[in-house]
Amino acid sequence: MFGKYEKTGDISYSLGAFPTVELIKRRPQDIERIALSSDLRMTDELERILAPVRGVTAVDDKAIARVAKKGNVYMAGAFRKRFAEFGACSHVALVHPSDEGNLGTIMRTMLGFGIKNLAVIGEGSADAYNPKTVRASMGAIFSLDICVYPDWQAYAAAHKERRLMFMLDGRSVTLGSVRAEEPYALVFGNEGAGLPPELAEEGTPVIIRHSRDIDSLNLPQAVAIGLYETTKHIFSGDTYHE
């Protein structure tokens, strides 16, 4: 069950205690196997967490070694990938993201701001279920609905939400001047190239103002600011709710 990860396969792996615990809590029905290191210190709390999946859990150092390149992994999970189409809702759309670490960080940030739907657009994009992505998400991936589209046309045909296109364009307005009426899509481009200029016609081009001391914000930073600005009414003052 634990072997070389295949992007086109049905199985992925959670590496580390934190993401694996999130897997157990959020997606127990998708678990194939849980492997524990012989060096793992068992606690009453961990025993309680593992109780529902004891039938597929075993101490197996060799299994962990096959999927983990670093030596500090004490727990790993093998699970079935899940992709889910989602209807009209507020979500983040990433066009040709290229870095699995960034993708996982964005997933965690999305969950922190209560946005639980992610569209990944474009052939050759970073793999949403690569173990690097899963680990960088700190298990947030197990609380999200993720849909992958081969190109912009396929995504645009499925989603008609108001789009905020994060890009530098002659028509761009500042993010703070736009009221994001739900449902909306926050659309970001590739880490290096950004969004193609022709996509400016597909929504409202917006920019995040920053000093001229830097060329640009990195992708996870831009997504975090976009999420903060569009959800701050939920988390501010007396209107905050879990």
Task: For 104-147, write each residue's pLDDT tens digit.
Answer: 999 999 999 999 999 999 999 999 999 999 999 999 999 999 99
pLDDT tens across 156-195, in order? 999 999 999 999 887 889 988 888 889 999 999 999 889 9
| Cis ω for the linkage preceding 97 (within 30 of 0) | no
Query: Are 158 and 64 contacting, i.e. CB atoms less than 8 angstroms apart?
Result: no
In this prediction, residue 211 has a pLDDT band, given cuts at 50, 70 and 90, of confident
Alpha carbons 150 and 122: distance in angstroms, whole number: 5
State residue 131's pLDDT score.
97
Residue 237 has pLDDT above 70, yes or no: no
CA distance 150 to 156: 11
Cβ proximity of 12 and 130 under 8 Å: yes
For residues 27 and 15, what is the distance between their CA atoms, to the nearest angstrom? 15
pLDDT attached to residue 171: 83
CB 110 within 8 A of CB 140: yes
Strand partners, 35: 58, 76
Rounded to the nearest 5°, which phi and psi values hold at 80? -80, 135
Considering only CA atoms, which of 207, 202, 208, 210 is closest in space to residue 185? 202
First to last CA, the chain: 37
pLDDT tens-digit readout, 16-43: 999 999 999 999 999 999 999 999 999 9
Q: To which residue do tokens 């025993």 refer?
A: 47
Model pTM greater than 0.85? yes
What are the residues facing 147 on neighbouring strands? 119
pLDDT of 45-59, one tens digit each?
999 999 999 999 999
